[in-house]
Chain A
Amino acid sequence: MSAAAANHSALLPESLREDFPILNGDVLEGQPLVFFDNAASTQRPRQVIDAIRRVYEHDYANVHRGIHTLSERSTELYEQAREKVRGLINAEKRHEVIFTQGTTASINLVARSWGDANLQPGEEILTTVMEHHSNLVPWLQAAERTGAVLRHVPLTEDGRLDMHQFDNLLNERTQLVAVASVSNTLGTINPIDEITAKAHAAGALVLVDAAQSVPHMPTDVQKSDADFLAFSGHKMLGPSGVGILYGKENLLDAMPPFLGGGSMIGEVHLDRFTPAELPAKFEAGTPPIVPAIAMSAAIDYLQAIGIEAIHRHEQVLTGLAFEALSQIDGLRILGPAPEHRTGLISFVFERIHAHEFAQVLNDRFGVAVRAGHHCTQPLHTLLGISASTRASFYLYNTPAEIDRLLEGIAAVQAMFAPKGRRRRKSGK
């Protein structure tokens, strides 16, 4: 949308880049780094790196175990992090926030615990064709174990969910709708509020894979009425190894524990055990203590800037990139118009493979993009392609970096254009 593209006043100050050591380091030996692989994982500001060091230097011990000073400090910081996450997504209760290893672990927890306890043969899980493998494979596995059936909402021509088909597919057998709030390949923002309202009316629960939305736009689980919501710390300036499962208290209470071990127990006898209360019930073993505390620092950083402001910044960048890419002959953008997407654009170019884009953009232009299927093989098959190139933006990216990307794309086109080359015969 050119209106969005023109609105440069919505851009965040470039000075915030100074907070990110990796953007200012000499990563590429003299070449400035343009990091456009944020949908896979973001970079960290000094504030998050400092938080990690601070914990290890001053506060670290295992949580919920000792009564010594360090264990108490660690526990307090860890629980403060939980409260921070609660505020970020506006959960009603702090113990509705479970720390996991990441979005994938969160979704698998629900599939194993809720899925195995509730799904009956012939009952249905409704998901979509645009899901990341992490919101597809756990349900394929759950279907295999329980005899439940997986159904998929198709796409409209422009890469949005076909809500008419959603209405048709949702029925009294549907137990769960598992859907991404934002597609990691198409960038499409899905109508989660509408989906939860309709699913609940049909008696189904809703699990939202929010890995691509929580870092980029405001999240309110009470407003959206999502039953489960999963996301990761590393896609929002935090460390890898920590993720969140939000679940409504009554649902989490009714679910059996998933992993067994320390922390998740009330009483243990040689022949039986009782599970702990929430949230410990779902946090067996030593949790990702430092990643969780550092994720809290990342949330502080994001909230100081404002998630809404970050969203507007990305809208400007996406508008600029979309407009310029649309004008390139032979280039096909995957997914909808900018107003229906977040800050990422995947594209394919006839006759030039995504690998060539990623390689040359990196080697000659210092631009890091993703090439491949982005863990959405079924979607790529459906779109009739084997791979695409994805540029995904975040708060530290700039319009000048989009120009660099465009310059690189033009160079790749020139480099790999058919030139009537002839293979030299080998002489055999």
Chain B
Amino acid sequence: MPSEEELYQEHILDHYEDPFHRGNLAGATHAHEEKNPLCGDVVRIELKLDGEGEIEDVYFTGEGCVISQASASMLLEALHGKTVDELKNFSAEDMLELYGPRLTPNRQKCCLLSWKVMQSAVHSPIDERSQS
């Protein structure tokens, strides 16, 4: 069993308290939101894709535990400026590796929430008409 000192490494708490791109993205082209039904953690990701399939900009909002929110920040920082193809190749294992500390299966769900949302978000164009 991992100890909490390992789970809550300093750089993870840094991401939690000072997240990368937390907020809404004006002019977002794609967005998706999901909840972890087990615990109610929620993450929404809004992103802007350019015509070339590059993630021009990406922001997240959400509520939940340190792991769910810090992992969102870490993921966005890692994928900002990358392409949709690179995102598709970024596997669940890659996400767990990016997070670092070994997680029990239940806490893996917290960590993978933003990864799941991100994978769906690039396929979820914002309907312009419903925006107006």
Interface residues of A (CB under 8 A from B): 29, 353-356, 359-360, 363-364, 371-373, 377, 380, 386-387, 415-416, 418-424, 426, 428
Contacts and interface: CB of A to CB of B under 8 A. Distances in A.
A372 B11 contact: no
B39 A424 contact: no
Interface string B55-73: 0000000011111000001
Interface in B26-61: 38-42
Contacts of A420: 17
B14 A372 contact: no
B86 interface: no
Contact of A387 (B4, B13, B40, B81): B40
Given A364-B4, A373-B40, A421-B17, 19 more contacts: A356-B8, A356-B66, A359-B4, A359-B107, A386-B42, A386-B63, A386-B64, A387-B41, A387-B64, A416-B13, A421-B16, A421-B18, A422-B18, A423-B11, A423-B18, A423-B73, A424-B11, A424-B14, A426-B77
Report the contact-size class of chain B (Cβ under 8 Å from the partner). 20 to 34
Given A372-B38, A386-B40, A363 B3 contact: yes
- 8 interchain residue pairs of minimum CB distance: A386-B40, A355-B65, A353-B65, A363-B4, A421-B17, A423-B18, A423-B14, A372-B39
A363 B2 CA distance: 8
A373 B8 CA distance: 23
Interface string B84-98: 000000000000000
B115 interface: no
B116 interface: no
B41 A386 contact: yes
Given A423-B20, A423-B73, A360 B110 contact: no
Contact of A415 (B8, B20, B78, B107): B8
A148 to B, nearest CB: 26
28 contacts: A29-B1, A353-B41, A353-B66, A354-B39, A355-B65, A355-B67, A355-B110, A359-B7, A359-B107, A364-B3, A364-B4, A371-B39, A372-B38, A373-B39, A386-B41, A386-B42, A386-B63, A387-B39, A416-B66, A418-B17, A421-B10, A421-B16, A422-B18, A423-B14, A423-B15, A423-B73, A426-B78, A428-B80
B23 to A, nearest CB: 15
Contacts of B67: 355
A420 B41 CA distance: 23
Nearest to A372: B39
Contacts of B78: 426
A355 B11 CA distance: 19
A407 to B, nearest CB: 14
A354 B110 CA distance: 13
B40 A372 contact: yes
Nearest to B63: A386
Interface string B101-112: 000000100100
